[in-house]
Amino acid sequence: MSVLSLLRVFTAVLSLSVLAGAAWFLGQWLEGDWLRDGDGALVRVRPDWMLWTGLALLTWSVLGWLIAPLVLARPDARPLAPRRGRGQTAPVPGGAGLHIETHGKAGAPPVIFTHGWGLDSSTWAYAVEDLGDRFSLVTWDLAGLGRSRRGKGRPLSLDVMAADLDAVLDVAAGRKAVLVGHSIGGMIIQTLARRRPEAFARVAGVVLLNTTYTNPLRTMIFSRLLLALQKPLLEPLEKLTIALHPVAWLLKWQSWLSGSTHIAMRFGFGRHVTRSQLKHVALLVTKAPPAVEAQGNLAMMNWDSGGALARMGVPVLIIGGDVDIVTKLEASQALSNEVPRSELMTMEGANHLAPLECAEAINAAIAEFVLEVQRAEDADRAPQNVEAGENAPRRDRPGTNQPSMIH
């Protein structure tokens, strides 16, 4: 469970409190008080302030989703307008089906995007717009989210998600792909390296966005407190969510209507967030089935990368936000120190949802990285002149392990 999930629980309670307050004030107004007039007759008196207070709270409870983005985010210079394609469904064991979409330039270097937890592949809309003219892009929905089916009785573990990513790699049609993962997407890539290292024969490079190398509770704000609460509170709360799935879903939608979800998700953005970005993310986390989300949260609480990515030998670009509260910048720095062929980039003023709020800068960095990796791959495939000496192409990415700051 991330700090954003906890904030959503808190704001959901706030949302219910507002709705309960509306019901109480309207009930009190309807009941009124019986008083005797000058003639001794009983007269029902209904205070107008109770009516208006109740109506105001009720309006907040059902129309807050329209107001919150206007207050919490900037106007859009570039509105986020995801367009979902028909795509294809890739069957995987357990009756599940992964929704996979391909975009961009056929035959170009392939890039596979794995989204963060509770979201879906529509969060890569900016990347599709910015990179589609140069690369072959593959986006997919994690099992149980978006248009992907989970499969009856199929566990939601990082190992299973890594196996799904292995299946998505087949879409690259024989060419080595660059894997891009945001948050849990980066954890899935690292799990693929640990559990299925042979899959990296089909991987040219990796981009990790706002991710971690261990139990996320260890690398987010208030980590000591959250780790202390993991066993006695957080894990039981996730299990209760699974058991009360229908109730939890109703609470999620009520929280979205009131704008409380928007308030919680605003904490996942930095100073760059726009209204369309906040609205889209708030809607996605509301659509995510609570039981699926809870099982994924439990899986992350018991996960560790084991340092597997460092042994794969592929170039890695690591991008973190300097105000990320979910996976603090220290997690990206630790990953960069661990992986030999890595470069760290820091997005100034960016929070956990940097791929949306800093899309242009991040997509430009991904494009540069993919082109460098592809040049190295092309050089490896070309006949080598053993007498080339200093003119032979270099395989290593320059400036490895050196941080850079994007403003």
Q: pLDDT digits over 250-271, tens only?
A: 999 999 999 999 999 999 999 8
pTM (predicted TM-score): 0.90
Determine the residue type at 360: E
Look up the domain containing 119 and give its range.
Answer: 88-379
Dist CA 289 CA 391 (whole Å): 56
369 and 207 in contact (C-beta within 8 Å)?
A: yes
In a domain, residue 47? The reply is no
Quick: pLDDT tens for 162-194.
999 999 998 877 789 999 999 999 999 999 999
Quick: pLDDT tens for 20-31.
999 999 999 998
In a domain, residue 394? The reply is no
Is the pLDDT at 386 greater than 80? The verdict is: no
In a domain, residue 128? The reply is yes
Based on the structure, what is the number of domains in the chain?
A: 1
In a domain, residue 366? The reply is yes
Candidates 267, 316, 276; CA nearest to 126 is 276
User: What CATH number should be reported for the domain holding residue 109?
Assistant: 3.40.50.1820
Whole-number pLDDT of residue 399: 38
Candidates 182, 113, 188; CA nearest to 158 is 188
Quick: pLDDT tens for 115-159.
999 999 999 999 999 999 999 999 999 999 999 988 777 888 999
34 and 69 in contact (C-beta within 8 Å)?
A: no
Burial of 92 (0-12, 13-18, 19+ CB in 10 A): buried
Dist CA 289 CA 144 (whole Å): 8
In a domain, residue 2? The reply is no
Percent of the chain's residues with pLDDT above 70: 92
In a domain, residue 159? The reply is yes
Is the pLDDT at 77 greater than 60? The verdict is: yes
In a domain, residue 402? The reply is no
Is the pLDDT at 369 greater than 60? The verdict is: yes
Dist CA 76 CA 273 (whole Å): 9
Dist CA 86 CA 94 (whole Å): 23
In a domain, residue 282? The reply is yes
